[in-house]
Amino acid sequence: MDYRIEHDSMGEVRVPADRYWGAQTQRSVDNFPIGAGIETMPKEIISAFGLLKAAAAEANRELVPEKMTEEKCAVITQAAREVAGGKLDAHFPLVVWQTGSGTQSNMNANEVIAARANELAGQKLCHPNDDVNMSQSSNDTFPTAMHIAAVLALERGLLPAIEELIRALLELEERSRGIVKSGRTHLQDAVPIAFSQEVSGWRASLEQDCRLLRAGMEPLRELALGGTAVGTGLNAPRGFDTLAAERLSALAETSFVAAENKFHALTSRDELVFAHGAVKALAADLMKIANDVRWLASGPRCGLGEIRIPENEPGSSIMPGKVNPTQCEQATMVAVQVMGNDAAVGFAASQGNFELNVFLPVIAYNFLQSARLLTESVRSFTERCVCGIQPIRERMEENLHRSLMLVTALNPYIGYENAARVAKKAYAENLSLRDACVALGYLAAERFDEVFHPEQMV
């Protein structure tokens, strides 16, 4: 491999000749061989850095034109847009397990953008620190990148995926109207419910999750950018924070604002904890829905067998013809991972010391993994399972009429305790509720038939 010599404030470093990064990035590559090539900084963070560096250059051009010349601004913003678009991902090798402030990833962005900008300019025009990092610090840019990445992951990925699942459930509701089945509580038989009502519960849970996620996104729109090193805004021109947020909003095509209190914005990660709580709430509901689906589809002959789900692949290497609820299983595993990530986000966010939290990369990694996994999981679950659910009406009717909890309909006529005696006699002697009730003398057969209508109990 060919190398070139780069230097920073600590001296000279050998860097691969075909990479845009410089000395500080290379020092991080050399000093943190932890999860290399696997647990690298999330692409969403890299893209967010591209957006914020372009916005910062545009703001600096307006506020300090003597330093951010038109020529510098043009090539920096072009290079930064390439970073935002993922064109330069190969030049971002750093791992999550680095400095807790994310300084080395900020410098990775500065060095790559400066090198690419100089290439575009055809001369050594831009310096990573003096130009690309102008009016900024790692301490305000990395928290800003985290907020940008989180908002875009939720707004462009997770929320649309949930909305697709909601539409699929609405369609299933409509197809299932008129089907009445046995309800279940505590994994025991309960009073009847329409299958469309059961599905509506799933759908309404997801609609609530969407509302929670949108509420969680709003505080993330407040950005630390402009606080620089400790929140005072040292070396940033007056108005930089507001103007940079405006330019960033235009570039990202969504709304961002400058955080009012930069001392809070640099040291506290409560906004990400709050938003990830909404992500965890979605994971909890997805766990419940996927479990309901696989219980209802259990069988095909020795389980509940009330719905049929798509048969996507063989389920056993030894049992011929076996098919498993694999989409439900991937969804529940993802939910477990997200719940674990929530614990990591919460613990890391509690580690703000004085003017800075130094657990930023691990928060970003876990938050974005949760959003990405759930987005992909929900889309797969929707397409490969929910859209193909078929209610088995005959099995639902059979289970409904075998349920002893239908006796609840008799409470107004014979009382709770007598109804309990009917249920217990029917269970002990393997009788129908009708036969047990008549045998105990509580109702005549004709009267029982008048008042006992399971399909009307919903």
* The last residue of a domain, from among 134, 169, 189: 134
For residues 73 and 201, membership in a common domain is answered with no
Distance CA 286, CA 279 (A): 11
For residues 267 and 249, membership in a common domain is answered with yes
Distance CA 30, CA 328 (A): 42
For residues 127 and 204, membership in a common domain is answered with no
For residues 318 and 262, membership in a common domain is answered with yes
Q: Is residue 418 part of a domain?
A: yes
For residues 73 and 104, membership in a common domain is answered with yes
For residues 357 and 417, membership in a common domain is answered with no
For residues 327 and 407, membership in a common domain is answered with no
Q: Is residue 139 part of a domain?
A: no
For residues 230 and 367, membership in a common domain is answered with yes
Assign residue 439 the CATH number of its domain. Answer: 1.10.40.30
Is 28 annotated as catalytic?
Answer: no
How far is CA 18 from its chain centroid?
35
Six-digit token pair at 42?
Answer: 């999330």
Give the total number of structural domains in the chain: 3
Q: Is residue 207 part of a domain?
A: yes
Q: Is residue 143 part of a domain?
A: no
For residues 116 and 181, membership in a common domain is answered with no
pLDDT at 333 (0 to 100): 98
For residues 256 and 311, membership in a common domain is answered with yes
Cβ contact 176:265 at 8 Å: no
Three-state secondary structure of the chain:
CCEEEEEECCEEEEEECCCCCCHHHHHHHHHCCCCCCCCECCHHHHHHHHHHHHHHHHHHHHHCCCCCCHHHHHHHHHHHHHHHCCCCHHHCCCECCCCCCCHHHHHHHHHHHHHHHHHHHCCCCCCHHHHHCCCCCHHHHHHHHHHHHHHHHHHHHHHHHHHHHHHHHHHHHHHCCCCEEEEEECCEEEEEEEHHHHHHHHHHHHHHHHHHHHHHHHHHCEECCCCCCCCCCCCCCCCHHHHHHHHHHHHHCCCCEECCCHHHHHHCCHHHHHHHHHHHHHHHHHHHHHHHHHHHCCCCCCCCCCEECCCCCCCCCCCCCCCCCHHHHHHHHHHHHHHHHHHHHHHHHCCEECCEECCHHHHHHHHHHHHHHHHHHHHHHHHHCHHHCEECHHHHHHHHHHCHHHHHHHHHHHCHHHHHHHHHHHHHHCCCHHHHHHHCCCCCHHHHHHHCCHHHCC
* The last residue of a domain, from among 356, 374, 394: 394
- Catalytic residue chosen out of the listed positions 316, 370, 380, 432: 316
Q: Token pair 């050399």 is at which residue?
A: 30
Q: Which residues of 372-410 are buried (b: 16+ CB within 10 A; e: fewer)?
A: bbbbebbbbbbeebbbebebbeebbbebbeebbbbbbbb
pLDDT at 1 (0 to 100): 86
Cβ contact 388:309 at 8 Å: yes
- Catalytic residue chosen out of the listed positions 186, 205, 264, 317: 186
| pTM (2 d.p.) | 0.96
Is 186 annotated as catalytic?
Answer: yes
Q: Token pair 């103007």 is at which residue?
A: 243
Q: Is residue 447 part of a domain?
A: yes
Q: Residue-wise pLDDT tens for the chain (458 aa)?
A: 899 999 999 999 999 999 999 999 999 999 999 999 999 999 999 999 999 999 999 999 999 999 999 999 999 999 999 999 999 999 999 999 999 999 999 999 999 999 999 999 999 999 999 999 999 999 999 999 999 999 999 999 999 999 999 999 999 999 999 999 999 999 999 999 999 999 999 999 999 999 999 999 999 999 999 999 999 999 999 999 999 999 999 999 999 999 999 999 999 999 999 999 999 999 999 999 999 999 999 999 999 999 999 999 999 999 999 999 999 999 999 999 999 999 999 999 999 899 999 999 999 999 999 999 999 999 999 999 999 999 999 999 999 999 999 999 999 999 999 999 999 999 999 999 999 999 999 999 999 999 999 999 99
Q: Is residue 237 part of a domain?
A: yes
Assign residue 28 the CATH number of its domain. Answer: 1.10.275.10
Q: Is residue 140 part of a domain?
A: no
For residues 280 and 192, membership in a common domain is answered with yes
Distance CA 428, CA 58 (A): 80
For residues 368 and 220, membership in a common domain is answered with yes
Q: Is residue 142 part of a domain?
A: no
pLDDT at 352 (0 to 100): 87
Per-residue CA distances from 419 to 246, 410, 425 (Å)? 68, 6, 10
* The last residue of a domain, from among 134, 158, 179: 134
Assign residue 276 the CATH number of its domain. Answer: 1.20.200.10
Six-digit token pair at 275?
Answer: 């938003």
Q: Which domain holds residue 376?
A: 148-394
